[in-house]
Amino acid sequence: DTVLTQSPALAVSPGERVSISCRASEGVNSYMHWYQQKPGQQPKLLIYKASNLASGVPARFSGSGSGTDFTLTIDPVEADDTATYFCQQSWNENTFGAGTKLELK
Amino acid sequence: EVQLVESGGGLVQPGRSLKLSCAASGFTFSNYYMAWVRQAPKKGLEWVATISTSGSRTYYPDSVKGRFTISRDNAKSSLYLQMNSLKSEDTATYYCARRTGSYVMDAWGQGASVTVSS
């Protein structure tokens, strides 16, 4: 299985820029996607295939990377961005990262 | 508006079976692969199954292979997950999701809660 590793938590102030990383145990080409999940809600697609913004998602969100290292960037961070962010690869079946909990200071 | 609505969750004893349903609307269901993804309490997401547009091809991770069966009825715009020989570790919220041609799940239901306990 392709294991995806994310940092467990981050805390930033509103208006700052934050980068959330996801490292794959093997190359996943560009088939890395990012989701936002708020408590009690279903996941919401933010970025697909590494750098493509999903429909209706604010341009404050962006994605980059290829191969094994990927990054989700939020700039600037807003209070509503408090959530857990998951990466997912679909190059080798489907696996998800454990999630990065983003808290605002 | 794309809508996915799961149903059929509940409390079930270990070793028993349960069938989840997902009613789709707002898009041409038969044009999309569909998937199930689960999330154990306070845990991350785990892919459970994927089915092709016609239903002729299905895919599972080893954790559920042989116990779970994904199926669909395109005439009813419905997706199903038959879960047999349930274990306590199958306790989770089960999400129905639409899969695009980019191999990403771009729409999710609100989830159905399944608790496996005696």
Query: How is A44-77 classified by DSSP, letter by letter?
Result: EEEEETTTEEPTT--TTEEEEEETTEEEEEESS-
| Confidence class for position B117, pLDDT limits 50, 70, 90 | very high
Q: Are residues B111 and A99, on separate chains, in Cβ contact within 8 Å?
A: no
| Phi, psi (degrees; rounded to nearest 5) at A57 | -85, 135
Tokens of B90: 């199958």
Q: Are residues B45 and A90, on separate chains, in Cβ contact within 8 Å?
A: no
Tens-place pLDDT, residues B14-23 = 999 999 999 9
Confidence at residue B68, expressed as pLDDT on a 0 to 100 scale: 98
Percent of chain A with pLDDT over 90: 98
Q: How far is B104 from chain A (nearest CA, A)?
A: 7
Tens-place pLDDT, residues B39-83 = 999 999 999 999 999 999 999 999 999 999 999 999 999 999 999
Chain A partners within 8 Å of B100 (Cβ): 48
Alpha helices by DSSP H, listed for chain B, are none
Chain A partners within 8 Å of B35 (Cβ): 94
Q: How far is A51 from chain B (nearest CA, A)?
A: 12
Confidence at residue A8, expressed as pLDDT on a 0 to 100 scale: 86
Percent of chain B with pLDDT over 90: 97
Residue A7 has pLDDT above 90, yes or no: no
